[in-house]
Structure 1
């Protein structure tokens, strides 16, 4: 999940705080969610939480990725065209201990591409239908990131331009380099 430039879950308690405002200090990272699709029908969700009150938190994928008003603007739990009474966006529980830390590995029958752009919400609230913004509800937007070693870059010695390491760039750079010598 990406929020404010990192793979982060942030508190929903002050969603309209300006980045210049002192209230931003309250928006520290409260957790991390990693999603790895391990088969065509199964995704592993690795969740960690920190700095929240002890208790049971429910993780869910929401219909929208709109965080303008925090958790309240993320919409209902994502149904995902399930056609059943159980929405596909219900991920499961995360237990947080007395130290304010919790972790869970959840496998879920979704494909990662289906949920990119949706919000993920972790809340201790009993009802997940009408979410309220509070200090212990954390939100983030699910985004794609490159896999390990999948984002190699090459710096062109002729212009200094950073380019992705692809054969076309490497081939195109050779004639320019030959002309310079």
Structure 2
């Protein structure tokens, strides 16, 4: 089937971009996890997994559903640059406030729970991904249907994390 209209091509591009992201998200961990378990050992890999879970909860708080609501608002108003700018600013300010709140929540966990405090550097380093996710406007690119930008970012980020994990584990 040959897609000839502009909307059909954009839809196909978006589906392929998002589908490619999922392929990368599934394949790289299949390569990384066995290596990390072998090099780090079960205990340290468990520690890394636990810190990842904590950080993912913090990411969930900072997202606050913006990937759904802000995407919808941007999509509805995508041809009104002033409205899109207003949505962008509002969402970014709230996400930054939530990020600060999450940072203090993490500090509270580090100071009050001994096992987390013993590995505070790990938690603080992995918190950088919360900051990065809060700053990157995935919802904006999805709302204006520029998923290829998100695809490039996500592939770069995933490959970067994969390579950094391997490099840090070698040392």
Which protein, 1 or 2, shows the higher relative CO under an 8 Å CA cutoff with sep ≥ 6? 2
More strand by share: 1
TM-score, shorter chain, exceeding 0.5: no
More helix by share: 2
What range describes the TM-score normalised by the shorter chain of this pair?
A: under 0.3
State the TM-score, normalizing by the size of structure 2: 0.23
Greater CA radius of gyration, 1 or 2?
Answer: 1
State the TM-score, normalizing by the size of structure 1: 0.22
